[in-house]
């Protein structure tokens, strides 16, 4: 994939009884987050783990950031660096290609895992039917006003219809996937935003999902530089998502196609609202309401956008007080 290996250790790639898990950590210019992230991998209760850190051309190479980290407990460790900044999807593809495990688990550099994360996922895989390709869990979300668990709705099996409307899985950090499936369904390196959801949809067309009823990932909404903060990329993601999956949605019938397009408009509109692009928010949220008026939150968000910053702040205050 055009990367270079900076470091690698360990020859043992697994035991006779437990499958090797490849953990792919993708990173770009967040050394302090990266250290905490990798420490959470080293603290896992499961063995054997192969850690692949993919550095997407950070100013400070990840190999330097992690130089003093003790990785002896791992079955294998390697740090791969891209020669140019190519984006998170390219980094994930590089990590999958470099790995040798039976399963692949992804971890963004500003997220952390609880110690039982990998163990619980492997247990679920080993107990699952052969058609299961992905196991996912909930998150412990850290907001400015405190922490709370966020568990996706309990949906197992074929998730395609659900994912066409909503990301019912979460971020890449909550999933573990069969390695053969990850190699078969590569990440689209041209997809700038909604990349996780886009990949989940394509994977769901080939394999079933199983959800663990636990919050096993620590996700900090206060982290800087998250892709969700960039509305222009979200706007382009909206167009790309509709272009790619409009036909898939239409195969479920015209009413569902309208519903899918409404949810896409809502995701883009809520992002516009969050980033203060109130004109775009009103337009997109109005589109969502017109296409699918049966979803109450579409109207609620539209009303919050009508007065710009003042009504948005009022709605957020009411939401916090009621929550």
181 lies in which domain range?
A: 3-220
Contacts of 206 (CB under 8 A, 6+ apart): 133, 181, 184, 185
- Does 237 lie in the same domain as 211? no
Of 188, 220, 252, the domain-final residue: 220
Mean pLDDT of the chain: 89
The answer on 161 and 310 residing in a single domain is: no
The model's pLDDT over 94-134, given as tens digits with 9 standing for 90+, comes to: 999 999 999 999 999 999 999 999 999 999 999 999 999 99
Whether 203 and 305 map to the same domain: the answer is: no
pLDDT tens digit string along 149-179? 877 777 888 999 999 999 999 999 999 999 9
Tell me: pLDDT of 253 over 90.
yes
In the prediction, which pLDDT does 224 show?
Answer: 47
Task: Find out whether 298 and 285 touch, Cβ atoms under 8 Å.
Answer: yes
* Torsion from C-alpha of 257, 202, 205, 267, nearest 10 degrees: -40
Do 318 and 186 belong together in one domain?
no
Q: Is residue 167 part of a domain?
A: yes
CATH of residue 170: 3.90.550.10
- Same domain for 315 and 201, yes or no, is no
Same domain, 47 and 145: yes
Could you tell me if 207 and 243 lie in one domain?
A: no
How many domains, in total, are found in the chain? 2
Sorting pLDDT into bands at 50, 70 and 90, what band is 258?
A: very high
Of residues 78 and 226, the one with the higher pLDDT is 78
What are the pLDDT digits (tens) for 85-96?
A: 999 999 999 999
Please tell me whether residues 162 and 197 are part of one structural domain. yes
225 inside domain: no
Alpha helices in the chain (DSSP H): 31-42, 62-65, 88-98, 117-127, 160-165, 179-184, 195-204, 231-250, 254-274, 278-291, 296-306, 309-322
Domain check: are 300 and 151 in the same one? no
- 240 in the same domain as 157: no
Which single residue is written with the structure tokens 């008026």?
A: 293
230 or 304, higher pLDDT: 304
How many angstroms from the chain centroid is the CA of residue 132? 19
CB of 273 closer than 8 Å to CB of 304: yes
Tokens of 134: 């992905």
Which residue has 């699952």 as its token pair?
128
Confidence band (pLDDT; 50, 70, 90) for 218? very high
Q: Are residues 71 and 149 in the same domain?
A: yes
């Amino acid at each position: 994939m055009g990367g270079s290996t900076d470091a690698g250790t360990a020859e043992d790639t697994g035991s006779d009884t437990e499958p090797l898990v490849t953990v792919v950590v993708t990173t770009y210019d967040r050394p302090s987050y990266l250290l905490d992230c990798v420490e959470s991998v080293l603290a896992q209760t499961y063995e054997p783990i192969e850690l692949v850190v993919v550095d997407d051309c950070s100013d400070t190479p990840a190999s330097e950031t992690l130089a003093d980290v003790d990785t002896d407990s791992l079955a294998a460790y390697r740090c791969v660096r891209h020669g140019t900044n190519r984006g998170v999807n390219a980094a994930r593809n590089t990590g999958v290609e470099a790995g040798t495990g039976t399963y692949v688990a992804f971890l963004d550099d500003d997220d952390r895992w609880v110690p039982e994360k990998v163990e619980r996922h492997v247990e679920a895989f080993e107990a699952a039917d052969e058609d299961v390709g992905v196991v996912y869990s909930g998150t412990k979300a850290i907001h400015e006003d405190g922490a709370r668990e966020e568990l996706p709705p309990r949906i197992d099996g074929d998730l395609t219809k659900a994912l066409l409307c909503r990301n019912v899985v979460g971020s890449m950090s909550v999933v573990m996937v069969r390695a053969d499936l990850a190699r078969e369904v590569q990440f689209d390196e041209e997809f700038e935003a909604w990349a996780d959801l886009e990949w989940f949809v394509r994977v769901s067309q080939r394999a079933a999902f199983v959800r663990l009823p636990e919050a096993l990932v620590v996700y900090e909404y206060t982290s800087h530089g998250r892709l969700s903060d960039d509305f222009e990329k979200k706007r382009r993601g909206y167009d790309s998502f509709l272009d790619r999956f409009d036909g898939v949605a239409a195969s479920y019938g015209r009413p569902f196609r309208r519903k899918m397009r409404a949810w896409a408009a809502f995701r883009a509109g809520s992002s516009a609202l969050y980033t203060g692009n109130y004109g775009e928010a009103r337009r997109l949220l109005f589109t969502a309401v017109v296409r699918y008026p049966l979803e109450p939150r579409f109207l609620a968000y539209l009303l919050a956008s009508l007065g710009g910053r003042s009504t948005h702040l009022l709605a957020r205050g009411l939401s916090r007080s009621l929550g």
